[in-house]
Amino acid sequence: MHATPSPAPATLTRLRGIRHVALDMDGTIYRGGTVFPWTGPFLARLRELGLSWTFLTNNPSKSAADYLAHLGRMGIPAGPAELHTSAQATIGWLQRHRPAWRRLFALGTPSMQAEFAAAGFSLTADDPADAPDAVVVGFDPTLTYARLGRAAWWIQQGKPYVATNPDRVCPTDQPTVLIDCGALCALLASATGREPEVVLGKPDPAMLDGILARHGLRADEVAMVGDRLYTDVLMAHRAGALGVLVLSGEATAAEAAAADPAPHLVLPTLAELGDLLAAARSSPR
């Protein structure tokens, strides 16, 4: 076990006011297909402390239903109100801001495409005669060269496009690199000279809006916990939440020390956060 760091007085005060924990998933509660041993005890501790939580992920490769089933198989029970994904955030953005974009060419897994179809969008085929209103780019382990080229073609023809998330790689416990949406967008920018109109997911602070509304929270009552500086921690700062970096995923301690903006807390794992939340509630004010 790691020793739990002593937070600065101002951070301890903020910890006392936390009512909800927004939890990144891959790299925070599990890595690839392996649940961290501290995840179950941490969630049990939150329950004991009377704190609610939401699993928040930039990975759009699974639909909400598939994520909930995936979490259940890993021994982490959750309901629809305890999950928010970047695919859901992208769907919400399109519905609110671009309602005329109903036909989409989507670079995404069948599960992600099913999520968009269920929300009422029509998905176009890999066919130059089947023109979309816009292109959506997501993390897609099922990607084919042909579909990547078709997306680039439509972008080159001037079709607007949006990205579900900015992550460059997806954490994994396997001996490979999982190329994520941000890296695909960099490839498409190199090929077409165009960037996405908008990039959803963390660090866009709108990713927290649904959680705040659902639970009747202020942003300063939320701890955003994750393993990435440029998504999890940056979103916390932009939204006004407490930014907690755990070193169980992508970011290293050296990167955290050099980060701007810096995390409010840097901890080895979720276990130490549970200790701090408990200590904050028991300490004199």
In the chain, where are the structural domains located? 9-58+203-282, 100-199
User: For residue 140, what are its two tokens?
Assistant: 């897609």
Instruction: Tell me the CB-side half-sphere exposure of residue 136, using CA atoms within 13 A.
Output: 35
Helix (H, G, I), strand (E, B) or coil at 30: strand
Helices (H) and strands (E) in the chain, counts: 11, 15
How would you write the pLDDT of the chain (285 residues) with one tens digit per residue? 565 667 778 888 899 999 999 999 989 999 888 999 999 999 999 999 999 999 998 999 999 999 999 999 999 989 998 999 999 999 989 999 999 999 999 999 999 999 999 999 999 999 999 999 999 999 999 999 999 999 999 999 999 999 999 989 887 778 999 999 999 999 999 999 999 999 999 999 988 887 898 899 999 999 999 999 998 999 999 999 999 999 999 899 999 999 999 999 999 999 999 999 999 988 766
Residue 33: per-residue pLDDT: 83
Amino acid at 103: R
Contact 60, 172 (CB under 8 A): no
User: How far apart are the two ends of the chain, measured CA to CA in Å?
Assistant: 28
Give CATH for domain 100-199: 3.40.50.1000
Residue 11: per-residue pLDDT: 84
Alpha carbons 34 and 245: distance in angstroms, whole number: 19
What Rg value do the Cα atoms of the chain yield, rounded? Answer: 19
Amino acid at 55: F
Residue 3: per-residue pLDDT: 59
Q: Same CATH fold, 100-199 and 9-58+203-282?
A: yes
Cα angle value 183/186/192 (rounded, 5°) = 140
Topology, domain 9-58+203-282? Rossmann fold (3.40.50)
Alpha carbons 63 and 198: distance in angstroms, whole number: 21
State the angle between helix axes of 181-192 and 145-156 in degrees (0 to 180), rounded to the nearest 10: 50
Record the pTM: 0.83
Strands ordered across the beta sheet of 198-199: 122-123, 103-107, 134-137, 161-163, 198-199
